[in-house]
Structure 1
Amino acid sequence: MSSTSGDARNNVIVFFTDQQRWDTTGAHGNPLDLTPNFDRLAAEGVHVENSFTCQPVCAPSRASLQTGRYPARVGCFRNDIPLPEDTPTLAGCFDEAGYDTGYIGKWHLGDTDTAGPVRPEQRGGYTDWLAANLLEFTSDAYQTTLYDGEGRAHELPGYRADALTDAALDYITRERDAPFLLFLSFLEPHHQNQRDDYPAPEGYGERYAGAWSPGDLAALGGNSAEHLGGYLGMVKRLDECLGRVLAALDDTGLADDTVVLFTSDHGCHFKTRNDEYKRSCHDASIRVPTALRGPGLDTGRPITRLVSHIDLPPTLLEAAGLDVPAWMDGRSLLPLVRGEDDDRPNDVLVQISESEVGRALRTPRWKYGAVAPGRDAWNTPCADRYVDAYLYDLENDPHELRNLVAEPAAAEVLGPLRERLARRLAETGEHAVVDPAG
């Protein structure tokens, strides 16, 4: 892996949250002032206004961010499938270029028979390790257990997000001779699985209970009335942790040489679209907050085109001054940042598993989703035929409350969207027919 910009090899920090909706941020119009640090990051750097996961469930989304490839192509098309040990990765690229590479927090790409330690062969190429395979099962709000590179357990004090941030600050401020890549992976604002709850820091859930609800939850409810306050309290604490990381970069003089990416693995629909929290084509599941700041990224100009998670790893490599390997499916955002003409399509492809074998196309106006009839959503990574299932006019129905797929007037729209989805599938190696329902 060679440098594309001489000796200018920038540090990289990925600040990665879990299950965070895009509309929790002030940059997206949230009225509660939950995210002043994210909003500042977006205002000073590059706000990716329309950012989408390519798979709305933990492991597949994480596989994409570690590889720059679609989940079905990697093989991690659902949870409980480890990242294949021979898969080339983002960390491997940075390691080859002489970087220190560190991972802290939740991994969710290791062997399924352990929640805690992850074998070295399954760590995606990261050399400095303090993580748990399934952090939701080795921790609680005020009890955090992570495992080091030797597999030894470490009990970290304080609220979980604060504990991970403390570990990150220790990593960032170490004396070192090489640049670094740090992937800091939180569990917040994901629910606590053992009791189906959103445990915010003490007092935070109460602060935001009943304070605000996005349009889809106001209309559909789900279990948001019970849990939204805690969820928003967790978002607030995450932003405070982001502020601590940004302050540490300023205090150590590293801010001018460090690329910071903030994003999340997927969103949360609070049991409004199916019987759990994600795994659907709706924006509540797939749209996430994303912003970048650092050398070459301090433009203050947003990217308004639609962006997929697969575009983020190549962006980090180019922003660090490294080549982007041909095996990545995504394309760097740096040409868009520089204002260059770009022929990439203004849409994103989303793969859906576990709840259905589905594929969706998100365009600026339309959400089109298709499913594979009768296919086993747990064991089937893809299909040779999909049929119409969802159509939303996002211009007139931004909260996706009216599925138009069966409306006679939708036929004129559906035909081009089927063709567009089929082309996007073919680009990923999935040659499938996309047909009308029935």
Structure 2
Amino acid sequence: MSELLQKASLAKQATLQLSTSTTKQKNEALQKIADQVKKDKELILEANKKDLAAARSRNLSESIADRILLTKERLTYMADAVENLIDLTNPVGQSMAEWVRPNGLKIKRISVPIGVVGMIYEARPNVTLDAACLCLKTGNAILLRGSSSASFSNRAIVKSIRSALENTELPLQSVQQLEDKSRETVREMLRLNEYLDVLIPRGGRKLIDTVVQEASVPVIETGAGNCHLYIDATANVEMAVSIAINAKTQRPSVCNAIETIVVHRDWANSHLDLLIDSLQQKSVIIKGDKHALERSSFAIEPAEDVDWAEEYLDNMVALKIVTNIWEAIDHINHFSSKHSEAIISESIPNVEAFFQSVDAAALYHNASTRFTDGFEFGFGAEIGISTQKLHARGPMGLSALTSYKYLIEGDGQVKC
């Protein structure tokens, strides 16, 4: 039996015990995992150094290296996120609705685990811990297939998780890591309907498109983040510049960083140079349309058609000038990956138009898109940010990892 089939089978077997595990048992396991990760911090960081060295030897970009990078602060944040899950309500077994039919049948809809979650992801070793712990809290088993770029880090984190699970009442086989990185194995995983109940891809556009197009296992699409910031004519200047800087440069390599700034012509006529200068002081490369090039006193690069759809994940941003909010909305809806979009404006009608007309999982008024995150939303952590509309949308916390079933109570009813 191949590694994939063996580990998928073990994960499937673990779901029966997981589905009947108590909240207390799950929370005790999460605490032990958080403690073990803290205990193994130096071992995990040493493993991470190997991944970073390999990334540099392959000349991977700094943005990819940043996604791989773990620090003491990031590890502490990751462990804290696990502990935050303990305080959150267990979404499994909750009564979602109850009613009685005219024939006396009592029907109840309750939340249940999904089963086995297959996770295919690139870089980002934090996903290993977040995804595993979210699944454990919701009674799901998980099969992790990370990329080779973070293999040492992922292996060290899974070792900590499984070491902690050995001293809990949850099945050790709940968390499985696939070591085989071959494309053939990935293709087989995409069609493993017998064992996997859902696939969640996290990574670049190419990875996500491949999973969506080739999988027969149901997929929750976590789309790329081509996020926009629209600066309206009435935008507060200091606020607009501050949010643009934060949304682009606070951590450019993540999916909720902005990639395009759309600016109303009237605001640009007075304040565009301030915006461009502030971005360039942060080493941001700016690609502007012809109107931005005409208005700028600073040297910026001309934008090409491909730039409006690009997820840079780097210190680079596209800049477009528009004549009204509807032109901005049309541009955003055309190029958006339906992740996160923001408007800076003091016009209530324009904000309402933006909120009603822009199609994305998260819309912001006078705030940075960097808050699209499970932890920031109060979910404890996230297994991904869904850009689709079915089942789950936006940051996916605990409730997104549940399904439901109906329980019907009768007293002898038969259908005539």
Name the TM-score, length of structure 1 as normaliser: 0.24
Structure with bigger RCO (C-alpha 8 Å, 6+ apart): 1
Higher helix share: 2
Name the TM-score, length of structure 2 as normaliser: 0.25
